[in-house]
Structure 1
Amino acid sequence: MPPMSQEDIEWFKSTFRPIPKPELPDDSVEYSLCHIPSDPTPTIIDEVAETRSRLVEVQRSAAELTNVLLKDYIWQREAFRLEITKEDGITLLRGRTNFGDSIEDEWVIVYLLRELSKKHKDIWVKVTDGDGQFLLIEAAGTLPSWLEPEIADNRVWIHRGELVIIKLKNQKGKVTEKLSLSDSRKIMVEEPARLMRSAMIQEEAFYRLRNYPQQINENLHSAMIKIPRMIAHLLHQKPAYISAAVEAFYLRDPIALRPLRAKDPANFIFKPEDFVTVSVRFTRVGYAQLKSQDFPAPKSWAGVLPSKDDQKSYDKAEVGMKLACGFEMLLADPQNQDKAVVREIKLILEDIESGDEGLPTDTQIATWDKIEDDEKWLDISFEDLDQELKGKGKESNDGNIPKGSFGDANAQENLQRIVARFEEFMNNDSAGFEGADFFDDYGSDSDEGDEEEELSSDGEDKDASFDEEEFSKMMKEMMGMPSMSGGHGSSRPSMPRNRVQELDSESEDDTEQIQQLSRQMEAELRGTGVLDLSRPGKGKQALPRGKSSEDHDEEDGEMPGLEDEDIDINLAKNLLESLQSQAGGAGPAGNMLSMLNLPIPKDDRGR
């Protein structure tokens, strides 16, 4: 093959586009630790060897710090970890953690990284999540005007426990300077004058770490619950198994619920028998997910739960039932078979079945810790919460935040801070469509040559005007509410295609039941005349039998009271029976009520 000419090389450079780096998932945080020696080494070989040696030392130090600070900590999904890798020819430590719904896991990682940067003075730390530079988002009100999200990559670092921002080389004109990792490293070594350290920005960025490390233990919750002895044994060996079981319960779908439909408890992996009451440690998010969901007990569990007359005993047994169902779904669902936690649990169960390992006796269980934390952090007074959102929160006589109004003290303090920031933004007269300039310390330059704003005759700023309907739709989508124009709004993850195909291959019995239910519902709807599109009075207000439109007009538009005999309760009865047969899962009745924005009624009957 002949060598490429200079013209061919230039053409290749002009047309080549690097493969874009995949975006970070929404529920994940990624972190990188770079080694930058204070004194340059004489040779490249020595520098590479020293870098690798120092990174191994940092890796070992991170493991020690984790063992000290997070000895009994439970991660919602994945744990903090560091691996040696290369990026842009630079050897560094990198890790990625999926924290799920537990935002506190993300801040625990930030705290660990900050502590590592204090201990190792030659380590520079970069941390991002699905939102990008989330530390800058925390400190948005204190940032200089030139620090836009488009140029923030590789510009924000943690060094010696401080937040460091790489300033622009030239702050005049349009800001377009983007930095690669190698660019940032070069600036740290050769241009230290461009490294900005601001106490005000740092205080805002690290605000959520103000109560660490004491707050780490507050992210967990211990509760006394009644569970099968085999599950108690698993959790005593490794408490971290709890997160996978809770998630299997929380994200269940009709396929995952199949094992629980078995009428014979002998088919269960964790049979509803041989119960023990033990203290179980959860993440706070996991416990709330387990506790708050309405979940009718499977038939094999219905006769096991105690009476609701003894509410405390019933609550312990109900949480235990949900957890046991979570473990059952975790091990039985085909999509979980390749997970490491499932393989570990199955190995333990095999040892128990073969007799190589025995279950704990009542005497042994009596020696275990019996910790039961207060659940007041679950209690929320929505009236007090509404007052806080309006900036009218209650204060005690000494000016302190009263405890127990809603959530815990940290939740109250964080919410009050958010409300204060929002009010500051709304009251800022200089705020435009790009936001408010809270601080001018960093040269929020307003060029004298700016053009005057174009105003309409009625004083409206055309550039800043917006469609109220579109704005309302966007706000609902941001808050996870369904918009009126579309069918979006569900916060639950979409079902993968292979799960949909598996669901489509349901047994003939289930399909026949669904078809029979659909025919019954259609018959009821036709009986009420709802599906009769050709009926008289189409498009008008329906009137009771025996009343004409003239009679209705004579009553000044008031609707007469409906007679009891005119109310057809069969449709409501069938809907409720359909909901009950769904056992908390998805189904036609639940979907119909969801599309109508109607709440699904609870089944509060005795189980």
Structure 2
Amino acid sequence: MDIPPQDDFKDFGEDFDGFPKRLPEDVVEYIIYIIDSRLSDTQTRERLQAFQRALGTLEKKFLKEYIWQRESIKLDLIREEGQWLLKGSTNYGDSVADEWLIVYFLRELSKEFKDAWIRIYEAGGEFLLAEAANAVPNWLNPEVAENRVWINSHRLLVIPLSKQADSGAGPLKPGQALEILRDTPAYPQHYMKIEKEAFHRLNNYPAAISENQHHATLPLPRKVAHILHINPAYIAPVVEAFYLRDPVSLRLLKPDNLLFPPEDFVTVSVRFTKVLYAQLLGQMWDPPGPLGEALEQLRETESSDKAEIGVKVAAGLEMLTRHTIYTDKKAVREIKLLLEDLETGDDSLPTTAEIAAWPQREDDEGWLDIDFEEFERELAGKGGKDGFGDKNAQENLKKMVERFNSFMEDEEAGIDGADGLHPMDVDDDSDAKGRGWEDPEDSSEDKDSESEDDEHSDTDADAEYAEYEKVHEKFMTLSAAEKALLTDEARELALAEEADREEDDEIKKLSEMMEAELFGHGALNLNPDGKNSSGKKPIKSAKGKGKAKAEGTIEEEDSEGDENVLDEDYNLADNMLKAFKGQAGMAGPAGNMMGLMGLQFPPDADDEHKQIGKGKGKAPVR
């Protein structure tokens, strides 16, 4: 994880220096350099150590109760290429909030350390540029962006292409970027529009740090409550162990020898992040054996959601401590030491009176609520103030719609990006006036040219036949061994060409399936006049009128008027989300298009667990 993403794979040979290394998914890496020609090597190291201490101060100030999804921010002082620097990486899992918290901290520290130059990137490259895709100039594409994006003095700076750079310019190497920053620190450009878009998620910080937390009062086995009371941050690996459970994990929940049997339940307050709480709430699961029996008993005195989450937490802690894949986790080693203390008598479980003295906090779950009528109005640009329980989710939705609109309004944009089609891909051999049919009047004008083409084709055919005769005569003069060798080579070439044709046919079929999928969900139906080629109007809002007709259209005689036609923004977002959901978590055209537009979505909760309708429903919000 110490080497940034590279694409410069070298073929085997004398210069082979190993396979290129890449960051894993869901990992952000960050590097801090101190660039000041007046500082000695020792002074540079001391300056970096001061940066580390300043980060620790920020953590104590803002992260007293913060729970990291997987890993926390960490900076290691190392020496590379003859200079000191700080380097770290964090696996943030499904919690994008962790990633943006790191960006916020490092950007804030850059105000105090004006000689610090900071680079933050992911496996996919410069994700800050992806966040600002609408404002990035055409030349700043992923092929040249690596090592060009830096944070300095609270600003986002970009190293532009050199004046000598041509169309074949590529990314900068780390040494080249540092040389530019060291020799010409004023050369990196400050693009205000890029900075505004790249950092728009930080507008609500530092308030967003505490808003990311959620407290819930749950029934838990006394031993589980004891473990989480000692260190509330254990809830993160516990939830992940349950969320990523496999058949081996489920076999560990047999009644025999459970480390955390579902008994002796007590009510305690548990601190989650919103992502962790939503992950548990969105999971459909039928607990086996004694866990299922305990759940039925808890439902008699607790709400169904609270009882289910409490049992899931107990099951997750059991999986975490007993599954071999988690043995090396720091949290697992600490929990096992606590269990040993309980067994040896060095520690004891808390009494009911002691538990009653623990702080109790129950946060409102309104951030899970979405009024879907207000959701529709928000997409139409008419959103009210009370449509979303989570205002951050509302702002993210606005940004998503803006990006959809910007992408779809770009006449040069396509599935492969905004570069447009290659001229050879455009079918402009006929119908030059764009009328949808070939003009029969033009056929007479083309007869002369067609006859000329026929003459040329006949001449070419004669030449090819003459060449064939020469080759055939030469072939017949060869020995039997040479003929056999050439025959084998010809057979291998024919088989290779046949394989290529089969591959092309397969690609064509996949392309047709992709197009059918997108058309089936209406994602490619961008007809601005609201009608399709058959003259029918798009589906209208249901609003008590029953089911829509089969082919996604309704007849012209519908007299409701146009006031109920869904807004085209809503149709666009809704169709794309349906297409994405239809992929069932696998790769597909909708996911690829969203990835190209810089959009990421969390795993979807089971439909049966959502309450979707005209009223209010709950949906995990990222």
TM-score range, shorter chain: 0.5 to 0.7
Alignment partner for residue 282 of structure 2, among 272, 289, 292? Answer: 292
Q: Tell me the secondary structure at the aligned position of residue 346 of structure 1.
A: helix
**Counterpart in the other structure of 2:202:** 209
Structure 1 residues 488 and 127: alpha-carbon distance in aligned structure 2, compared to 1, 3 A threshold: closer
Alignment partner for residue 395 of structure 1, among 354, 371, 383? Answer: 383
Alpha-carbon distance, 1:282 to partner:
0.7
Within 5 Å, give how 1:16-31 maps onto structure 2.
16-31=15-30
**Counterpart in the other structure of 1:40:** 38
Is 1:455 matched up with 2:454? no
Alpha-carbon distance, 1:339 to partner:
1.7
Number of residue pairs matched? 449
**CA distance in structure 2 between the aligned counterparts of 1:293 and 1:129, rounded to whole angstroms:** 29
Q: Normalising by structure 1, report the TM-score.
A: 0.67
**CA distance in structure 2 between the aligned counterparts of 1:138 and 1:422, rounded to whole angstroms:** 13
Is 1:98 matched up with 2:97? no
Segment of structure 1 superposing worse, 237-246 or 172-181: 172-181
Q: Normalising by structure 2, report the TM-score.
A: 0.66
Is 1:64 matched up with 2:57? yes
Q: Tell me the secondary structure at the aligned position of residue 91 of structure 1.
A: strand
Is 1:240 matched up with 2:284? no
Question: Counterpart amino acid of 2:309?
Answer: V
Within 5 Å, give how 1:250-289 maps onto structure 2.
250-262=243-255, 264=256, 267-289=257-279
Unmatched segments (≥5 aa) in structure 2: 1-10, 435-507, 524-575, 589-605, 610-622
- Could you tell me whether the CA contact under 8 Å between 1:88 and 1:181 is conserved in 2? no
- Could you tell me whether the CA contact under 8 Å between 1:168 and 1:194 is conserved in 2? no
Question: Counterpart amino acid of 1:158?
Answer: I
**CA distance in structure 1 between the aligned counterparts of 2:99 and 2:578, rounded to whole angstroms:** 21
Q: Tell me the secondary structure at the aligned position of residue 212 of structure 1.
A: coil
Alpha-carbon distance, 1:196 to partner:
0.2
**CA distance in structure 2 between the aligned counterparts of 1:479 and 1:376, rounded to whole angstroms:** 28
**Counterpart in the other structure of 2:591:** none
Structure 1 residues 175 and 355: alpha-carbon distance in aligned structure 2, compared to 1, 3 A threshold: same
**CA distance in structure 2 between the aligned counterparts of 1:393 and 1:193, rounded to whole angstroms:** 41
Deviations 1:227-260 (A, max 9, x none): 0111111111111100111111111111101121
Question: Counterpart amino acid of 2:513?
Answer: E
Alignment partner for residue 427 of structure 1, among 399, 409, 416? Answer: 409
- Could you tell me whether the CA contact under 8 Å between 1:377 and 1:406 is conserved in 2? yes
Alpha-carbon distance, 1:215 to partner:
0.4
**CA distance in structure 2 between the aligned counterparts of 1:154 and 1:87, rounded to whole angstroms:** 16
Within 5 Å, give how 1:109-128 maps onto structure 2.
109-128=102-121
Alpha-carbon distance, 1:166 to partner:
0.5
Within 5 Å, give how 1:123-522 maps onto structure 2.
123-170=116-163, 173-262=166-255, 264=256, 267-305=257-295, 312-382=302-372, 384-385=374-375, 388=378, 391-392=379-380, 394-396=382-384, 402-403=385-386, 405-406=387-388, 408-429=390-411, 431=413, 435=417, 455-459=428-432, 467-471=511-515
Structure 1 residues 100 and 347: alpha-carbon distance in aligned structure 2, compared to 1, 3 A threshold: same
Q: Tell me the secondary structure at the aligned position of residue 182 of structure 2.
A: helix
Alpha-carbon distance, 1:127 to partner:
0.4
Supply the RMSD in Å over aligned alpha carbons: 3.4
Structure 1 residues 471 and 150: alpha-carbon distance in aligned structure 2, compared to 1, 3 A threshold: farther
Unmatched segments (≥5 aa) in structure 1: 1-11, 42-46, 397-401, 438-449, 490-598, 603-607
Alpha-carbon distance, 1:310 to partner:
5.4
Alignment partner for residue 74 of structure 1, among 48, 58, 67? Answer: 67
Q: Tell me the secondary structure at the aligned position of residue 113 of structure 1.
A: helix
Q: Tell me the secondary structure at the aligned position of residue 240 of structure 1.
A: helix
Segment of structure 1 superposing worse, 55-64 or 297-306: 297-306
Alpha-carbon distance, 1:473 to partner:
6.5
Alpha-carbon distance, 1:206 to partner:
0.2
Structure 1 residues 358 and 96: alpha-carbon distance in aligned structure 2, compared to 1, 3 A threshold: same
Structure 1 residues 472 and 81: alpha-carbon distance in aligned structure 2, compared to 1, 3 A threshold: farther
**CA distance in structure 1 between the aligned counterparts of 2:607 and 2:191, rounded to whole angstroms:** 51
Within 5 Å, give how 1:530-569 maps onto structure 2.
none
Alpha-carbon distance, 1:369 to partner:
1.6
Q: Tell me the secondary structure at the aligned position of residue 132 of structure 1.
A: coil
Alpha-carbon distance, 1:171 to partner:
6.6
- Could you tell me whether the CA contact under 8 Å between 2:239 and 2:316 is conserved in 1? yes
Within 5 Å, give how 1:8-19 maps onto structure 2.
15-19=14-18
Deviations 1:550-601 (A, max 9, x none): xxxxxxxxxxxxxxxxxxxxxxxxxxxxxxxxxxxxxxxxxxxxxxxxx998
Q: Tell me the secondary structure at the aligned position of residue 225 of structure 1.
A: strand
**CA distance in structure 1 between the aligned counterparts of 2:375 and 2:12, rounded to whole angstroms:** 58
**CA distance in structure 1 between the aligned counterparts of 2:432 and 2:309, rounded to whole angstroms:** 60
- Could you tell me whether the CA contact under 8 Å between 1:169 and 1:194 is conserved in 2? no
- Could you tell me whether the CA contact under 8 Å between 2:69 and 2:93 is conserved in 1? yes
Alpha-carbon distance, 1:36 to partner:
0.6
Question: Counterpart amino acid of 1:173?
Answer: D
Is 1:107 matched up with 2:151? no
**CA distance in structure 1 between the aligned counterparts of 2:343 and 2:316, rounded to whole angstroms:** 21
Alpha-carbon distance, 1:160 to partner:
1.1
**CA distance in structure 2 between the aligned counterparts of 1:452 and 1:472, rounded to whole angstroms:** 20
